[in-house]
Amino acid sequence: METILEKLKLYFENTPAEQVKVDWEKAKKYDEVVSPSIETFIEVSKQLIDVGKLQNNLPQGNLINNFENPNFSSDFFYHKI
């Protein structure tokens, strides 16, 4: 299975420069999409990974799932002792 980098290298090696320019122009519409910057995405991803690592150390008693009312559940409730 090829990585994105490998596919990108193959694209530039096998695609004429004029076609690259045409494809680039088609992709410009995506520059206007309102979304977080790549820096923000990476920072939030790191934080989520760190939280995932902490989850293994949490006592099970602190994670309370709402079994009584399935119509209202935020998936879990973290109770700070």
Q: What is the mean pLDDT of residues 30-38?
A: 83
Q: How far apart are CA 38 and CA 44, in angstroms?
A: 10
Question: pLDDT-based confidence at 32, cuts 50/70/90?
Answer: confident
At 39-80, the pLDDT tens digits run 999 999 998 888 777 766 666 655 555 555 555 555 555 555
Query: Can you give the pLDDT at residue 29?
Result: 86
Domain boundaries, the chain: 1-34, 35-81
State the amino acid at position 29 in one-letter form. Answer: K
Query: Can you give the pLDDT at residue 51?
Result: 78
